[in-house]
Amino acid sequence: MTSPDPSATSRYPAGSAAFPHRDLTGLAELAPWELLYLMDEAEQWVDLNRSASKRDERLHGLTIINAFFENSTRTLLSFEIAGKRLGADVVNMHAAQSSVKKGETLIDTAMTLNAMHADAIVIRHQSSGAVQLIADKVDCPVLNAGDGQHEHPTQGLLDALTIRHSKGEIAGLIVTICGDILHSRVARSNIHCLTTLGAQVRVCAPPALMPAGIEQMKVTPYYDFDAALDGADVVMMLRLQQERMSGQFIPSPREYRHLYGLTLERLARAKPDALVMHPGPMNRGVEIDSNVADLAGRSAITRQVEMGVAIRMACLDVLTRKARGVEGWA
Ligand code: CP
């Protein structure tokens, strides 16, 4: 594994001592140095999380609310662990057990959370743009934990960090993202992040699951998975997001696997050391075979989860610095 030098501050422009955004709603608007800054900040937390104590008290006394309007395993738990490892009080709100079920609007829910003087709010919502709507209404930093088909910024960052740990640099890599591109916020955040950092991104999907005009995102679309895999450094597989589909987008899971599933035979078309990634949850035997998902030395899927905790610690730390009166951030 190649570890970058986290003290390489020369990559930041002069005078950029502070991350200049209150919220993290997406990666589309972030400059290369801002993406690198959050990734570099996460390196210390990768090390801490591998140590015995796993504790740092810098967020002691702060309250973080995780408001999840959609199901989650990785993102919810890693934000909770991230906040707790930094000493914060972390409260989880699951929409299914909240007054949302009694008809409360998103804005009223946001105003309610705001009145509780949270120091940061982490939101996952099924509607694109819902997180920005809440950010516009509250007084504290808001972190997007995935909104509809729009963005999943901490996933994009953790994926970039995972790639950097394996490959050393992101610039110049060929990254193939294959699956349900149309409905995927993970694909969008990864495209923003990886193209901004200089990777060549190929996206591959059946025609019905490829967004119109995707070329405008500086990626190359492919409909033939074998061609998309040729010479790739990284292969990122995405699941079919049935919960966002109305109507039939693929003939059958069996046919989908035949054309777009990552098998060992197909993986051989990529570079011999190509990294295999998946944000989870996986549908084994559909978009990825088990012997690929579990391939030692090549699959980074559990490493992605590990990097997720570190990235979320970095984001919570950086975005609450102003409120904590950290020097240079007031
Ligand atoms: N990758 C991801 O967002 O997973 P969860 O839905 O389990 O949070």
Compute the distance between CA of residue 173 and CA of residue 277 in angstroms, rounded to an integer. 14
Distance 231 CA to ligand 1 centre (A): 28
d(CA 94, CA 30): 29
Within a 10 A sphere around the Cβ of 155, how many other Cβ atoms?
28
Q: Is 206's C-beta closer than 6 angstroms to any atom of ligand 1?
A: no
The answer, yes or no, to whether the previous bond of 281 is cis (omega within 30 of 0) is yes
pTM above 0.85, yes or no: yes
Regarding the beta carbon of 305 and ligand 1, being less than 6 Å apart is answered: no
Separation CA 197–CA 111 (nearest Å): 36
What are the backbone angles phi and psi of residue 187, rounded to the nearest 5°?
Answer: -60, -45
CA distances from residue 74 to 155, 226, 285, 307 in whole angstroms, order as listed: 10, 30, 21, 11
The one-letter amino acid code at 193 reads C
DSSP-assigned letters across all residues of 35-101 = HHHHHHHHHHHHHHHTSSS----TTTT-EEEEEESS--SHHHHHHHHHHHHTT-EEEEEEGGGSGGG
- Per-residue pLDDT reduced to its tens digit, 258-289: 999 999 999 999 999 999 999 999 999 999 99
| Closest atom of ligand 1 relative to the 77 alpha carbon | 8
263 lines ligand 1 (CB under 6 A): no
Kindly give, in sequence order, each residue whose CB lies less than 8 Å from that of residue 51, ignoring residues fewer than 6 positions away.
none
Model confidence pLDDT, tens digit, residues 228-245: 999 999 999 999 877 777
Q: Please name the residue whose Cα sits nearest to atom 1 of ligand 1.
A: 279
Cα 189 to Cα 69, 256, 292, 321: the distances in Å are 20, 24, 24, 24
For residue range 202-228, list pLDDT tens digits in order: 999 999 999 999 999 999 999 999 999
Distance 330 CA to ligand 1 centre (A): 33
Residue that wins the pLDDT comparison between 210 and 12 = 210
